[in-house]
Amino acid sequence: MGEYVIIITTGVFTIYIENYRFLFHKKTNLGVDTMFQISNKSLLMPSDKYVMLREKYDYNSQDCKFEIMQTGNLYNVGKFIGVFAREVPNGKPHGINLRRFESIIQEVFKDCYDAFISNNLPDLHIINLKQISSAIVYWKMTSQGGRAKLKVENLLAKWSDDTVKRLMNAYEKKDMSLFRIGGVRIPTATAFMRFLFPDDFGIMDSRVVGNYTQPNGITTLSLRNDGYINDTKQNIIKYETEYIIFLRGQAASLNKLGIKFRDVNEQGKIFLTTFRSSDIEMSLF
DNA sequence: CGCGAGCTCCAACATGGTCC
DNA sequence: GGACCATGTTGGAGCTCGCG
């Protein structure tokens, strides 16, 4: 079945007709209720563009280094150097790709959480938690050049026993606000969410917000003049009520259409896969 | 008086224009 | 073409002010 796309621009709506399904891309003057009703059926851009942009995603963090110690339950242990979007380049024996990075983060958090709820959280687990949290901060800050290292130093300087409890609580409740530990504001907190729960969450990045969700009225965040997402309670709420709802809706629409894209799995093999919330955000990044 | 919203400051690199 | 300076970018932190 070939894909069939008609784009009608009226100035008020842009309507994509894809596989004979009507998909409304709301612009401004739809009520919230209407937006909510159609959100599962609307696509911000044609599906082939989503695929093209997602396959083009190329955010690498060559200098991101961390070490995971063996705790008895962990599969991925050792030194890791360099996080790459897809294939790990030749000559990077300790490099990992994004899918593997996700797995390691999830594994370390689960390992810590299991120990935490059984009231026996050894230092080794906490060391791993610190390492993996630092890696997330470093990865997120890579786009800011040499500041990444500084931000990690800041994170470690502000780390306390309370930080561990807060992270475990955040993980248990899937609560972005609680990931806002010392040295972590909304954008990096949402990176924790994205890596731990990639099916349901994505990073609320100033680029995605500034270029897509905010201009289209999908989000109504409080932004600074330069686009920085203010660390406000309203913005924290709107991550759940606006941003995430949008990502999930887009992923659901693409999956309903049977759209897949090529990615590289943890073992470095190319595979066809469906869109998760985090993939939508990666397309728009 | 406590809290939170949001303004201002800051660090360090990126980009770009000017002048010689 | 290169030294130099100005401006832009990005996101965390600190601080003030207003509100209940």
Return the HEC string of A167-234.
Answer: HHHHHHHCCHHHHCCCCCCHHHHHHHHHHHCCCCCCCCCHHHHHHHHCCCCCCCCCECCCCCECCCHH
Q: Is the dihedral of CA A200, A203, A204, A209 positive or negative?
A: negative
Instruction: List, in order, residues 6 or more apart from A101 with CB less than 8 Å away.
Output: A83, A135, A139, A195
Question: Which structural domain range is residue A125 located in?
Answer: 61-196
pLDDT at A230: 75
Distance in Å, residue A186 CA to nucleotide B5 C1': 15
Is there a domain that residue A191 lies in?
yes
Lowest-confidence range among A28-32, A91-95, A249-253? A28-32
pLDDT at A183: 77
Tens of pLDDT along A177-232? 888 887 787 888 888 899 999 999 988 887 788 778 887 888 887 776 667 777 77
Distance in Å, residue A224 CA to nucleotide B4 C1': 17
Determine the protein residue whose CA lies at the shortest distance from the C1' of C8: A226
Q: Tally the domains of chain A.
A: 2
Is there a domain that residue A4 lies in?
yes
Pick A60 or A261 by higher pLDDT: A261
Tens of pLDDT along A49-78? 999 989 988 888 877 889 999 997 889 999
Q: Are residues A98 and A169 in the same domain?
A: yes
Detail the protein residues whose CB sits closer than 7 A to any atom belonging to strand B.
A 144-147, 150, 222, 224, 230-234
Q: Which nucleotide is nearest to A232 (CA to C1')?
A: B5
Assign A9 a pLDDT band (cuts: 50, 70, 90): very low
Query: Which of A112-116, A144-148, A232-236, A237-241 has the highest mean predicted lDDT (pLDDT)?
Result: A112-116
Is there a domain that residue A131 lies in?
yes
Is there a domain that residue A92 lies in?
yes
Q: Which nucleotide is nearest to A184 (CA to C1')?
A: C12
pLDDT at A23: 31
* Average pLDDT estimate for A245-263: 94
Tens of pLDDT along A91-107? 889 999 999 999 999 99
- The last residue of one of the domains, among A133, A167, A196, is A196
CB-contacted nucleotides of strand B (7 Å): 4-8, 11-14
Is there a domain that residue A164 lies in?
yes
pLDDT at A144: 65
**Percentage of chain A surpassing pLDDT 90?**
31
CB-contacted nucleotides of strand C (7 Å): 9-14
pLDDT at A280: 92
Q: Which nucleotide is nearest to A180 (CA to C1')?
A: C12
